[in-house]
Amino acid sequence: MTRDITIDIQDALPQGSAGFERCQRLRDRVIQVEPYFCTERAVLLTESYKQTEGEHMMLRRAKALDHILRNMKVYILSDELIVGHQAPKQRSGNVFPEYAVQWIYDEIDEFETRPADKFILSDEDRRVFMEELYPYWKGRTLHDRMMAMIPEDTKLQRFDAMVFAIGHHETGGFGHVVIDHERILQKGFKGIRTEIEQKLAEMRLDESNAWKRKIFYDSCLIIIDAIIAFAHRYADLAVQMAGEETDEGRRKELLAIADNCRYIPENPPATFWQACQVVWFNQLILQINDNGTSYTPGRFDQYMFPFYAQDLGRGAPKAQLQEVLEAFWIKLTEPVKLFAGADSIINVGQPTGQNISIGGLSPEGEDATNDLSYRCLEASLHLRLMQPNFTVRMHKGTPQSLLMRAIEAIKMGSGMPQLTNDHTFTEAMLKLGVSLEDAREYVPVGCMETMPKNTWGRANGGFLNLTKVLELALSDGRCRITGKQVGPKTGDARTFTSMEQIKEAYEKQMAHSVTHNAIENNLIDLVHEEIAPIPLVSLFVDNCVERGVDATSGGAKYNWTSVLGIGVANAGDALMGIQQAVFDEKLVTMEELIDALDNDFEGNEPLRQYLLNRVPKYGNDLPEVDGYVRYATDVFFDELARHRSYLGGPFVGSLISISAYVPFGEKTGATPDGRLSGSAIADSISPMNGVDLNGPTAAMKSALAIDHTRCGNGLIFNQKFTPGPLQSKEGMEKFASLIRSYINLGGAQIQFNIVDGDTLRAAKADPQKYRGLVVRVAGYSAFFHELCEDIQDTIIARTEYSV
């Protein structure tokens, strides 16, 4: 069967049908659920750790997961076709005490009232944490080990000045990896177990590293048996519920669910429904195992199409398959993560980063669009949820029908799908030494971090603030917020007489900051390898099982660490401000400018207004200022290239901020673009809010001034359009032409909020009325009502275009 034999861009599950109504009920229930703070997983994990003290940490991790999966509460909600939950209540956040407990202890009274990502905390869960979990884990966690080892001068950059931050990996799991579901779908866990047993049988323990490999394989076998037992628990529950069910249709569904869970994921699935259940079990168990984010399903329409096409060939109604797909789609919205307060602002809106991508090129370089690509777009159109994160991979030969269907989904206002450029990212992968076939199989991970599926990419090695680096260059290495000397002394900028001196200081400060980011990243890798190895994740990363090596120890085919540069627009705008105000027009001296920055423009409002409104700004297709943005990013990329990761691979750059543009702005002093101290910086590679005055095409051309092929770990370009013109065919065609032009010129990624400011302001004023409103925050979408006020305001303030 060819991949396009069943293509039909029309809805398979029409509104008003029973299947459509079921999925809308499932959607509405997810939207209405309030997240709870949950200690069940933590209690079970602690029980296991107490029983395994003295054993190898990898075996302890495997046995802990086994204990959790065999004893956690299992339940099936009404209407569910895909089953499995991560906690006793839907959309509840688990505690992961092996990573960190101190921040929970310090913030436990704030979960219900904090600005972002609130959690309801019961008296019993509070008691369990304070009386049972905290006393055992205090001093034993990954975070405790990290803080005992991190160098003091690195702490200055990381904590005092917050030039960079790697918060979640200091207190949580890694994640940020493409999950090779295809391998499990083809072999089942029984097949993987057979492979491992064969390797153990052939092993000689007197060989080099044999014991490490044996421990890894033994851990994998424990985990495989636990996963199968977990699925069987759902099978048993479904049989029990079927015996009590009075509705004959639902009784049959429960028995089918039981059959599915009894058979898979131990065996390769025989149907599309079973395949969806396998993928969900994999996604779910990974998120129960640790609190890493962005376990990414990847090219869903490629590895799932054979099951979909086979069912169609057997006569299964397309509407029935769509119903299963949408039931699966909804499950990806359920997981939530319990972040520390500071990290919850950076990751505001519960983005778990489960990024599904469709379309794009095949490994052979041909268009890979199939009918399931359209079915995924239909699911996105129908459900409009914040997860899964959703990507359409584009290339020069992408079918117009796919692009137009994607625009139909985009104009619904959820900010999805985002669009990526296969040609640009393939070139970026090739620059990293990836083979052409693997490069064409790149996957957007989490928000927009990119990598081939057989990669341990450490795709969130922290955010590094290019605007803050420039601040240090203009203050002789002193943080304007804290007054502390956090960088090297690179000269008193008051005495600088040329832009070359400013650039030299910027480059030296960048070298210092990137070095300390690399120091902490490599320490994080060391500590995770020792305290939190991930044999479960390694089962889903190519080469790890073959080599018998955990992903944290270098088992993957490709290994690198990625750092996310932010504040790029402000850095370029600020350099342009200095050149024009000081050296070209001589409006002020360097001494006067530095004094104004030190005093947050107090008494110098005319100067601030000049810098804001009279100096060219990035986002308007003005080569001089765009060149400064290119310079600022190139310095960042050049410095990363001088370092090697813990596993010997490169440090790879990206330009992605997610929601970090607000908290990093709070830690950044006044800047020569007219920005006040503590205010937000720009989002990813988008212009600063309100300065892009020449329309969307000009903003795109400015973004293209950056070398996108150096962003091997991805970038994000946000635009906001008013929805009115997109309601007409002509408007949609203009929008499609705009997108194709950007892609054809080499733009790596673009995403859109199609929502007007009045709607957002109304939603801010009456959140309950707009509880289902989903918006694009940065590289992810979120329920608008779950965002903190600062993030809501920045989204409202974005320039609103029209086609």
Judged on CB neighbours under 10 Å (0-12, 13-18, 19+), 254 is buried
Q: Is residue 335 within 8 Å of 402, Cβ to Cβ?
A: no
SS3 state at 474: coil
* Three-state SS sequence of 347-416: CCCCCCCCEEEEECECCCCCECCCHHHHHHHHHHHHHCCCCCEEEEEECCCCCHHHHHHHHHHHHHHHCC
Q: Which residues carry out catalysis?
A: 447, 449
SS3 sequence of 210-253: HHHHHHHHHHHHHHHHHHHHHHHHHHHHHHHHHHHCCCHHHHHH
CA distances from 128 to 65, 99, 287 (A): 20, 17, 22
Q: What does DSSP assign to residue 542?
A: T
- Among residues 403, 471, 323, the alpha carbon closest in space to that of 732 is found at 403
Q: Are 406 and 419 in contact (CB under 8 A)?
A: yes
Written as six digits, the tokens of 251 are 């009784």
Using an 8 Å Cβ cutoff, are 74 and 234 in contact? yes
The kind and range of the H/E element at 175 are strand 175-178
Name the residue type at position 399.
P
Cβ contact 172:96 at 8 Å: yes
Beta bridge partners of residue 419, listed in sequence order: 392, 750
Cα separation, 766 vs 745, whole angstroms: 42
Q: Which residues of 584-604 are buried (b: 16+ CB within 10 A; e: fewer)?
A: eeebbebeebbebbbeebeeb
User: Per DSSP, what are the bridge partners of residue 330?
Assistant: none
Write the DSSP symbol of residue 618.
T
- Cβ 568 vs Cβ 654: under 8 Å: no
Contacts of 635-644 with CB under 8 Å at 24 or more apart are: 635/506, 635/507, 635/510, 636/464, 636/466, 636/510, 636/514, 636/565, 637/707, 637/710, 639/507, 639/510, 639/511, 639/514, 639/515, 640/514, 640/563, 642/511, 642/514, 643/514, 643/515, 643/518
